[in-house]
Amino acid sequence: MTDHLTDDNADILAELPAPLVDRARALDAADPLADHRRSFVEVDGLVSYLDGNSLGRPLKATRDRLARFVDGPWGSRLIRAWDEEWMDAPTQLGDLLGRVVLGAAAGQTVVADSTTVMLYKLARAAVDGRPGRDEIVADTENFPTDRFVLEGIAAERGLRIRWITPDPAGGVTLDEVRAELGERTALVLLSHVAYKSAYVADLPAITAAAHDAGALVLWDLCHSAGAVELSLDADEVDLAVGCTYKYLNGGPGAPAFGYVAARLQDRLRQPIQGWMGHDAPFAMADHYQPASGIRRFISGTPPIVGMLPMRDMLALIEQVGMPAIRAKSVALTDFAVELADEALAPYDVRVVSPHDPSRRGGHVTLDHPDFRRVTAALWARGVVPDFRPPQGLRLGLSPLSTGFVELTAGLGHVAQLLREKRNHA
C-alpha cells in the first residue's frame, strides 16, 4: 500500500522537504502495525484518508460478515434468531467493548440507540438522580448535540446550565470545572477528547472533583474510544456515552454505547421506557417494570445489523491491544504536527491542537482562512480530511488504517493548493 501511494504521489512528495519524506518512509517501514492496513477495504482513487475520526474505513472481514448474516441468521433462522442470539446482543457486545476499549468490567456497557438518544437518557437520568440540585456544568466548545441535549433537559426540568468557555485551541481544565462546582451541581457533562482541538481533558481529576461536590459526571467518549486508552472503572467514572462509527469502524449510523457504573444502575431511572428495557419484554405487561442492571437502559428494538461491523473492529483491537494503538496514534499525530510546522507554516497554517501528545487525542486540527475551499479541492483529488468552522481542517488519523507516507502525501496536496493560491494572488 505504501509503495502504491508513493508511486501515485511522487510529484507531490518531491515538493516537500526531503528529510520529511524520508522520515515518513522510515516510519512506515518500522511500524509494527503496518500490516493491519491491508485488513481494510481498498478503493481506487483514494489518495489519503484523513477523516477516521468522523467515519472509520470498513474492514474486509465486515464485507464478508454482512453477506454471511443475510444468508445465515437473518435468511435461515429469521425470527427464531431473536431467541437464539439477538436479544442478548446489546449487552454481550457492550461487555466486549467494555473489556477491549473502555476498561470496564462486564455488566456496565450497552450498545443501543444513537449518541444523541443515549446522551439524553443518561443525562436526564443523572439530573433526576440528584434531587434538590438544579445546576449542570458544561462547556461552550462541546459538540452541538451535547449542548443541545442539555438545553432541552434544562428547559424540561427547570435547571440552570453553568457554561465554561475554554480556550478553543485547548479544552476544559480542572480549575475551570472546580470554579463552577457547588452544592447545587447535579451533573457535569464534558467530552474527554475535544472534537475541535483534540485536547484530552483530565478525566480522573475532574471526575474526583465532581464527586467531592456531590455531582455525577457524564463523559462523551466519541473521540476517545478506540484512539485513547480508557480506564472507566479504575477512574470511578459514573456515566459515559460514545459513538462507534469513528475509531471503532462500525459504519455510518452505527449504534452508540452507554456506560453506567454498576453502583448507579439500580438508583437511576432512564426516561425513555421502552419494551426492551422491561424486566420481561415478551410478557407484554400493562405497566413498566425496569430490568435489573444495565439492560434497563435499553429502550427499543436493538439495531442488530448495525452492530455487525463493530464486532470485526473490536476483534482487531483486542488482537493488537489499546497500548499499541495509542502508541501509533501518538506517532501519527506527532508527525502530522511536525509536517504542519515545517511544510505548511510558510503558508500561515497554524496547528491548533496541543503539541503535548499526552494532552492530544487521535486527531490534529490545522487553522487557515482558506481551508473551506481547500477541503473541497482536496476531496476532488482523493484526499479526505474534514472541515470544521470557522476555518479548521481536521486530520483524523485512525491508527490501524493510516500510514505515514499516506499522511505526508495528503498534507503535500494541502501545501500545493495553498501555494497555487498564493502564486495567483
Coil, strand or helix at 30: helix
Please confirm, yes or no, whether 394 is among the known catalytic residues.
Answer: yes
- Identify the helix (H) or strand (E) that includes residue 216: strand 216-220
Instruction: Give the count of beta carbons closer than 10 Å to the beta carbon of residue 82.
Output: 18
Q: How far apart are CA 120 and CA 106, in angstroms?
A: 23
What Cα–Cα distance (Å) separates residue 205 from each residue in 2, 202, 351? 41, 6, 27
Q: Give the type of residue at 68.
A: R
Give me the catalytic one of 37, 199, 394, 404.
Answer: 394
Could you please report the per-residue DSSP string of 383-409? EE-EEETTTEEEEE--TTT--HHHHHH
Closest CA to 400 of 309, 316, 323: 316
Coil, strand or helix at 178: helix
Give me the catalytic one of 28, 113, 146, 220.
Answer: 220
Would you say 357 and 333 are in contact if contact means Cβ atoms under 8 Å apart? yes
Would you say 47 and 59 are in contact if contact means Cβ atoms under 8 Å apart? no
293: region left, alpha or beta (phi > 0 left; psi from -120 to 50 alpha): left
Closest CA to 251 of 51, 40, 58: 58
Nearest 5°: phi and psi at 228? -125, 140
Burial of 264 (0-12, 13-18, 19+ CB in 10 A): middle
Please confirm, yes or no, whether 143 is among the known catalytic residues.
Answer: yes
Instruction: Give the count of beta carbons closer than 10 Å to the beta carbon of residue 156.
Output: 11
Burial of 357 (0-12, 13-18, 19+ CB in 10 A): middle
Would you say 374 and 414 are in contact if contact means Cβ atoms under 8 Å apart? yes
Give me the catalytic one of 245, 259, 371, 404.
Answer: 245
Please confirm, yes or no, whether 121 is among the known catalytic residues.
Answer: no
Burial of 233 (0-12, 13-18, 19+ CB in 10 A): middle
Q: How far apart are CA 391 and CA 100, in angstroms?
A: 36
Please confirm, yes or no, whether 371 is among the known catalytic residues.
Answer: no
How far is residue 167 CA from its own chain's centroid?
21
Please confirm, yes or no, whether 404 is among the known catalytic residues.
Answer: no
Give me the catalytic one of 25, 121, 246, 326.
Answer: 246
Give me the catalytic one of 143, 297, 335, 404.
Answer: 143
For the annotated catalytic residues, the residue numbers are 143, 220, 245-246, 394
